[in-house]
């Protein structure tokens, strides 16, 4: 059983390495979400104009990083009047352009990958807007809306329906520093962790297994590292496919991206792999439930094409600027924990995390937690009361 424990030990060591970064990312995300009201999002996304797509991107960056919640929220926005293209742009930004993803990429893989995320994501969104303007037919949108209005359950419906933002007058800091602001941040912080912990856990376990069990020469052969030109062409094509079959979504795929980068996947391939959290098999099935098979296939196909294209664009741009890292030394942590800066950072960030959890528990958070996967109506009403 040594191989099994080795895989678990690597997963545990990586969890410890990234813990403080995850806490920081979720705190910052909770702060932003606490001041962005859902009604504002719907009002700004009424068409597919450049202004609406830009608003969808910005508001998505301030939203949940959970892929399942993002997909559910995009359907909710679409049903309430948001343009379908804008809803899809919001969905992409809310999982691939969020704070916590950027922090984790910088920590495990280097700042170049964080920069690539924030360059490739807008490229993908622009390409989606163009493709949908050309190929998306009104009849398909009408069919999708009819299916969406049937309200077939997907996943994380309750979490997507919750709007815990702070209302009222006053400056950003005054509202955030109030008792209601502290409560809102604590509720969003804990709910985000509850929504995403499975993705993170699965991602770390898969990463530990692949790092411990799969020899590096397999990855080097699979990613065609002996043929640099072919490797550059192959990486963005195969990156999303690896993501689809690995079932790892949201920020849980970053540790696995580190393994793939060390194994020889191209720089653009890493980008397309990370963006593919929205076309893994369980989410494709949710698209089918939400919008019907035709729209599900259209969304999946266009997402895949634009992920590949964004990967190629990032490869060319960063290659021309000399920003593609020459060494493949992403942190896939061997099993050990020592008293270093990571340990001190983890201990420091666990203090505010504990304070937020206590605030959550003492302000009626548990009933909301039980509603995360349930009825959108009940969850929305409960969030409104708090």
Q: Are 142 and 336 in contact (CB under 8 A)?
A: no
Spatial contact of 88 and 144, defined as CB atoms under 8 Å apart = no
Judge whether residue 130 has pLDDT over 90: yes
DSSP category for residue 237: H
Higher local confidence (pLDDT), 377 or 295: 295
pLDDT higher than threshold 80 for residue 25: no
Task: For residue 248, give both structure tokens.
Answer: 């790892």
Share of the chain above pLDDT 70, in %: 86
Query: In this model, does residue 129 exceed pLDDT 80?
Result: yes
Structure tokens at 59: 């508001």
Distance from C-alpha of 376 to C-alpha of 72, rounded to nearest angstrom: 10
Distances (CA, A) of 370 to 157, 364, 374: 12, 11, 8
Residues 6 or more apart in contact with residue 364 via CB below 8 angstroms: 386
The whole-angstrom separation of Cα 143 and Cα 37 is 29
The Cα 321–Cα 299 span in angstroms is 32
Closest CA to 194 of 72, 382, 61, 365: 365
315-335 residue pLDDT tens: 999 999 999 998 887 765 555
CA distance 253 to 303: 17
- Measured N-to-C along each axis, helices 293-320 and 228-246 cross at an angle, to the nearest 10 degrees, of 140
Whether residue 379 contacts residue 372, with contact meaning beta carbons closer than 8 Å, is answered with yes
- The whole-number pLDDT of residue 382 equals 53
Predicted TM-score (pTM) of the model is: 0.80
Close Cβ partners of 299 (under 8 Å, ≥ 6 residues apart):
88, 287, 291
CA distance readout (Å), 31 to 10, 118, 356, 366: 32, 20, 12, 20
More confident residue, 364 or 5: 364
**Residue 8 clears pLDDT 60, i.e. is over it:** yes
Q: How far apart are CA 274 and CA 26, in angstroms?
A: 19
**Residue that wins the pLDDT comparison between 281 and 8:** 281
Residues in contact with 339: Cβ distance below 8 Å, sequence separation at least 6, in sequence order? none
Mean pLDDT of the chain: 84
**Between 380 and 41, the higher pLDDT residue:** 41
Q: Who wins on pLDDT, 338 or 88?
A: 88
Q: Which of 125, 120, 126, 129 is nearest to 311 (CA)?
A: 120
Alpha helices (runs of H) in 214-320, residue ranges in sequence order = 216-222, 228-246, 254-263, 267-275, 281-291, 293-320
**Of the candidate ranges 40-44, 76-80, 92-96, the one whose mean pLDDT is the lowest:** 40-44
CB 152 within 8 A of CB 287: no
Question: Which residue from 326, 322, 250, 346 is spatially nearest to 13, judged by alpha carbons?
Answer: 346
47 Ramachandran zone, left/alpha/beta (phi>0; psi -120 to 50)? beta
Question: Which helix (H) or strand (E) is 109 found in, with range?
Answer: none
Question: Which residue, 247, 218, 254, is CA-closest to 25?
Answer: 254
Structure tokens at 79: 């049903």
């Amino acid at each position: 059983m040594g191989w099994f424990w080795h895989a678990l030990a690597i997963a545990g060591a990586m969890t410890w390495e990234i813990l403080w970064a995850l806490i920081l990312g979720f705190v910052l995300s909770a702060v932003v979400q606490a001041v962005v009201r859902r009604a504002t999002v719907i009002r700004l996304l009424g068409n597919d104009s450049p202004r609406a797509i830009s608003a969808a991107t910005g508001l998505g960056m301030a939203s949940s990083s959970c892929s399942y919640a993002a997909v559910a929220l995009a359907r909710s926005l679409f049903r309430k009047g948001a343009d379908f293209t804008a809803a899809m742009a919001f969905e992409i930004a809310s999982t691939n352009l969020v704070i916590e993803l950027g922090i984790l990429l910088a920590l495990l893989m280097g700042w170049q990958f964080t920069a690539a995320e924030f360059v490739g994501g807008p490229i993908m969104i622009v390409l989606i807007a163009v493709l949908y303007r050309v190929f998306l037919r009104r009849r398909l949108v009408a069919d999708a809306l009819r299916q969406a209005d049937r309200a077939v359950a997907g996943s994380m419906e309750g979490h997507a329906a919750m709007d815990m933002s702070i209302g009222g007058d006053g400056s950003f800091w005054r509202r955030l520093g109030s008792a209601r602001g502290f409560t809102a941040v604590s509720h969003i912080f804990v709910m985000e962790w509850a929504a995403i912990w499975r993705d993170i856990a699965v991602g770390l376990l898969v990463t530990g297994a692949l790092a411990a069990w799969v020899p590096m020469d397999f990855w080097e052969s699979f990613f065609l590292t002996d043929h640099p030109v072919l490797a550059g062409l192959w990486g963005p094509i195969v990156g999303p496919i690896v993501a689809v079959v690995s079932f790892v979504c949201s920020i849980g795929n970053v540790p696995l991206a580190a393994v793939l980068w060390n194994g020889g996947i191209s720089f653009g391939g890493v980008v397309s792999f990370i963006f593919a959290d929205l076309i893994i098999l369980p989410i494709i099935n949710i698209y089918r439930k939400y919008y019907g098979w035709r729209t599900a296939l259209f969304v999946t196909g266009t997402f895949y094409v634009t992920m590949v294209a964004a990967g190629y664009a990032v490869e060319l741009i960063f290659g021309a600027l000399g920003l593609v890292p020459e060494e493949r030394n992403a942190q896939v942590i061997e099993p050990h924990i020592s008293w270093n800066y990571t340990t001190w950072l983890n201990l420091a960030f666990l203090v505010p995390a504990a304070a937020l959890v206590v605030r959550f528990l003492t302000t009626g958070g548990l009933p909301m937690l039980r509603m995360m996967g349930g009825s959108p109506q009940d969850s929305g009403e409960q969030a409104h009361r708090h």
